[in-house]
A and B are shown apart, each in its own frame.
Chain A
Amino acid sequence: MFANEQAVTADALISECRKRFDAGLRLVGVSAVEIKADDAFDVLYHFDKDLELSHMRLTVPREAPVPSVSGVYFQALLYENEIKDQFGVNFQNILIDFGCTLYLEPEVVKSPFCTFTFARKDKGKEA
């Protein structure tokens, strides 16, 4: 837990980002980490205004859809594509979607950072 952190749900994500965009905060980055104990991902959004930081934490179970914020913050598309490659988080409606080919080759089916095979064409199963 960080100071200045706010927990958020997947439904409220886009409206919270729009609030921060209108207040003039800059999106610094998006990070993700896997929580093995709960079979979930933690997606963290970091914001900055005049060198003051604040964070937003979104906890999603595996394979749950997450709306993309690239309509609000254009630079989020690059971060979301990368997290999709590495972890298999299911982002929806990214502005430019590389389809898991940003870093990975098309024949790779197992996402490198997770302990399970994400569902590309076949069902996800424990690796």
Chain B
Amino acid sequence: MRTILPFGPQHPVLPEPIHLKLVVEEEKVVEVLPNLGYVHRGLEKMTDIRDYNQMVNIVERVCGICSCIHSLNYCEAVEELMGLEVPSRAHFLRVMWGEIHRVHSHLLWLGLFADGFGFESLFMQFWRIRERAMDLMEATAGNRVVISTNIVGGCRRDITPDQKTWILSETDKIEKEVRALEKTILDDYTVKKRCCGKGVLTKEQAHQLGAVGPMLRGSGWAQDVRQTGYAAYGQLDFEPVVEYDGDSYARCKVRFREVYAACDLVRQALAKMPDGEIAVKVTGKPEGEVWRRVEQPRGELYYYIKGNGSKNLERVRIRTPTFANIPPLLAILPGCELADVPVIVLSIDPCISCTER
């Protein structure tokens, strides 16, 4: 006997409203139908009334958790369209703020994941560590989450040598405190019982269905868009973090180890940062087409921007990683039990305000 249960849009375990219709047959999920559009704000259409400089602030607010990387991609795309050469120091500053954003986003997700199966004290500990990253951003950039430091042509703010030593010491403290919590989340019997073997995405399925980010890397593909070398990543060395099991536990491990990789990248970027200007003067108007992608904490983000020679861009098309991760979610949910649905939905790291900009 089949019943149709609505999961969301409001659910205690979800950080963002996603609406799924689950067809359930005696505690096992048989089919899933998604229903998007709850927080659709129509941000792509705002390019008609705001010019390409004001669009930086709008594009930042597509997602709250990964906002700096949206503006990084947009600025790089418009700079490529207009043929601007950004100074090297600005590239390194953008990478530094982008990696601090990645640390804060993964710590937020780890806290919510622990909260998803009731481990509230670990949730609070992860968010307490995250406050250090928030203080870093507030002191260097002016705001905790939506930092507005990237502009077309470079960066708006610079860091002083005192701030540089402080950032290095805080990054060390963040890494030390996260390492102290590693055994608690990764070696725990209860956590393993709820995550291992749930929501398995095989290697073939991940590639054919178009999974991105930690979902792809948790299933055995060592692909990370940062390897293509945009911004200053060509001059920093890092390896993508890969796991091979494809279940929720593997995805959790991927994100956990990416926190260490991000801290290491911050240290490398600060060590190699050259002196010089942080912005270049912008002349002319954007014309032509460009396609650019970056690696967000949740996966691969691409922008397709078309300009027609006036101050307003003709088309800004944003494809966020959660939009690409929803078809794999529709493939891994059938067959699991009803009590596992929140953990599996959380393991794809849903950011619905990104999906339905």
Contacts and interface: CB of A to CB of B under 8 A. Distances in A.
Interface of A: 1-2, 21, 24, 26-29, 31-34, 44, 46, 50-51, 53, 55, 73-75, 77-78, 96, 101-104, 112-113
B225 interface: yes
A51 B356 contact: no
Interface stretch (B162-170, B202-210, B243-251): B202-210
Nearest to A50: B223
B300 interface: yes
B28 interface: no
Nearest to B225: A51
A73 B210 contact: yes
A33 B306 contact: yes
B227 A51 contact: yes
B37 A103 contact: yes
Interface size on B, as a range, is 20 to 34
Main secondary structure of the interface of B (DSSP, over half): mixed
A34 B48 CA distance: 14
Nearest to A86: B44
B319 interface: yes
B207 A28 contact: no
A101 B19 CA distance: 14
B317 A31 contact: yes
Given A112-B42, A112-B45, A74 B327 contact: yes
Interface string B17-39: 00000000000000001001100
B314 interface: yes
Contacts of A26: 207-208, 210
Contact of A51 (B45, B210, B228): B228
Contacts of B40: 103
A33 B304 CA distance: 10
A28 B33 contact: no
B291 A75 contact: no
B37 to A, nearest CB: 5
Given A2-B289, A103-B36, A103-B356, A31 B210 contact: no
Interface string B29-72: 00001001100101011000000000000000000000000000
Contacts of A44: 304
Contacts of A73: 208, 210
B289 A29 contact: no
A74 B289 contact: no
B300 to A, nearest CB: 7
Contacts of A78: 323, 326-327
Shortest Cβ-Cβ A-B pairs, 6 listed: A75-B327, A75-B210, A29-B319, A103-B37, A31-B304, A33-B315
B206 to A, nearest CB: 9
A2 B291 contact: yes
Contacts of A46: 291, 302
Nearest to B293: A28
A35 B45 CA distance: 16
